[in-house]
Structure 1
Amino acid sequence: MGSATRVLVVESKADLAEGWVRHLQSLGVSVRWEAEADLAIRALEQERFHVILIDLMLSEGGALAVADYARFRHTGTNVIFVTDTTVFSDGSIFGLMPNVRAFLESHTPPDDLAAMVQHYARPI
């Protein structure tokens, strides 16, 4: 990856988010972390990201709203959803949100998450 790769992490569980952020930063990725959907949308109003790594079940606000906003405002930004639930486990999320590229378990190893981010990061 590299310093040119920018990722928005949207996760309300601080311990999980901090682990992702630390791991991505150790690989040279520029990371911004927001814990709520409205703050994530504000971040998208201020800057562009290659990838949004977002928990489907945020404690404040809707993750789908963030992905939808990114789809209209930043068409080149890819979304990776993570979750600890079975919601959308049938893959229907890919039909609802065309910018969603992956749907992973919340406790996916950081190396695997980083590989997904690297794969879906592209020039914006």
Structure 2
Amino acid sequence: MGLRLLLVEDDGHTAGEVLRGMRERGHSVEHAEDVERAGALLETRPFDVIIVDRMLPDGDGLILIKRLRARENGTPALALTAMGRIADRVEGLKAGADDYLVKPFSLDELEARVEALARRVSAVRLVIGDLVLDRLTRTVHRGSTRIALMPREFQLLELLMASSPAVVTRTMLLERVWEFHFDPGTNLVEAHVSRLRSKIDRGGDPPLIHTVRGEGYVALAR
């Protein structure tokens, strides 16, 4: 399955080569020419990896990476730039970039690095629609909004997202989240799912947690 990439690059030739090459390789790529536009795109949808030029019309691309890290957004970022001195690389990595590739570059190497970054976070980052759960930082975001969850709510959401698109039964939730190996005969699960939905599906957002009558629950973007 292809990756969802955001390319932040103002040079038309470079952008065209990357867009064409990555799309031919099966990846979905959005393009922004400056920090402001990239920030707007990041507000509306999740990406697997961000590819960021440093010398942009409205500032250093590292500004974008720093803003993401300040909001505890751990989306992997690769700095793609002509600034190739050791000091430039160190600056980029300290700013929060996960990798640094100097121009000129080959598309094969770019794809290999991007895929390596995506693999690195796949075990700790769960994504459904615009909902992102980070197992490492224990944070949840829907779009750009951070959602505060209680520990049980986080466990419940984590199990639903990790199991998607499979349905998770009430029994499985009781065993995995509450460690109950019997049915307590209460609405414990239903009450927690209801509270979780009220936090996740606010403001008219499309619902992501669905009840499958007679079976259980599923986390799914429809």
Q: Does TM-score exceed 0.5, indicating one fold?
A: yes
After superposition, the Cα gap between the structure-2 partners of 1:74 and 1:47, relative to the gap in structure 1 and judged at 3 Å, is farther
After the TM superposition, which residues 1-124 of structure 1 pair with which residues of structure 2 at under 5 Å, given as runs?
Answer: 2-3=1-2, 5-73=3-71, 75-86=73-84, 88-89=87-88, 91-97=90-96, 100-121=97-118, 122-123=121-122, 124=125
2:59 aligns to what SS in structure 1? coil
User: In the aligned structure 1, how far is the partner of 2:24 from the partner of 2:89?
Assistant: 33
User: In the aligned structure 2, how far is the partner of 1:30 from the partner of 1:90?
Assistant: 27
Q: Is the 8 A contact 1:56 1:63 kept in 2?
A: yes
- Percentage of matched positions with identical amino acids: 26
**Residue ranges of structure 2 left out of the alignment (5+ in a row):** 126-222
TM-score, normalised to structure 2, is 0.50
1:92 aligns to what SS in structure 2? helix
- Letter aligned with residue 91 of structure 1: V
Q: C-alpha root-mean-square deviation of aligned residues, in Å? A: 1.8
**Residue ranges of structure 1 left out of the alignment (5+ in a row):** none
- Letter aligned with residue 59 of structure 1: P
Which structure would you say has the larger Rg?
Answer: 2
User: In the aligned structure 1, how far is the partner of 2:79 from the partner of 2:69?
Assistant: 14
User: In the aligned structure 1, how far is the partner of 2:48 from the partner of 2:29?
Assistant: 10
User: In the aligned structure 1, how far is the partner of 2:90 from the partner of 2:116?
Assistant: 20
| Superimposed CA distance per residue, residues 41-86 of structure 1 (whole angstroms, 9 cap, x where no aligned partner) | 0010011111110111112333122112222446331110011124
Runs of 4+ in structure 1 off by over 6 angstroms are none
Q: Is the 8 A contact 1:7 1:53 kept in 2?
A: yes
Q: Is the 8 A contact 2:79 2:92 kept in 1?
A: no
User: In the aligned structure 1, how far is the partner of 2:72 from the partner of 2:8?
Assistant: 16
Q: Is the 8 A contact 1:12 1:60 kept in 2?
A: no
Equivalent pairs counted in the alignment come to: 120
Deviates more, 1:12-21 or 1:84-93: 84-93
1:53 aligns to what SS in structure 2? strand
User: In the aligned structure 2, how far is the partner of 1:72 from the partner of 1:46?
Assistant: 18
